[in-house]
Amino acid sequence: MRLHKLLISLLAVFALAAPALAQKKLSKEDRAKLPRIAILDFKAAPDAWHGWRYGGWGNQMGTISNQLRDLFTTEIVAKGKNKIRVIERERLQDIREELNFQQSGEVDTATVQKIGKLLGVKYVMTGKVTRFAYKEAGFSSGWGVGALVGRVTGNGMAGAVAGSVNVKKASFTGRLDIRLIEVETGEILGAWKDEDKLDDTSVKVAGTGTEVQYDEELVNKVFEPIVERITPKLLRATVAANEDD
* 232, part of any domain: yes
* 128, part of any domain: yes
* 152, part of any domain: no
Q: Name the least confident of 109-113, 138-142, 150-154.
A: 150-154
Q: Which domain holds residue 115?
A: 30-135+172-196+217-244
* 210, part of any domain: no
Query: How confident is the model at residue 210, as a pLDDT?
Result: 52
CA distance 205 to 213: 6
In this prediction, residue 7 has a pLDDT band, given cuts at 50, 70 and 90, of low
* 180, part of any domain: yes
- At 74, which amino acid appears? T
- The values of phi and psi at residue 191, to 5°, are -140, 130
In this prediction, residue 169 has a pLDDT band, given cuts at 50, 70 and 90, of confident
CATH number at residue 126: 3.40.50.10610
Strands 123-139 and 85-86: unpaired
* 156, part of any domain: no
Model pLDDT for residues 49-82, shown as the tens digit of each residue:
776 655 567 678 888 999 999 999 999 999 998 8
Structurally, the chain folds into a number of domains equal to 1
Identify the bridge partners of residue 193 per DSSP, sorted by sequence position: 177
* 12, part of any domain: no
* 25, part of any domain: no
Name 216's Cβ contacts closer than 8 Å, sequence gap at least 6: 63, 67
Average of pLDDT values for 169-188?
92
Q: Is the pLDDT of residue 21 over 50?
A: no
Query: How confident is the model at residue 227, as a pLDDT?
Result: 97
Model pLDDT for residues 109-127, shown as the tens digit of each residue:
888 888 888 888 999 999 9
DSSP string for 70-126: HHHHHHHHHHSTTT-EE--HHHHHHHHHHHT---SS---HHHHHHHHHHHT-SEEEE
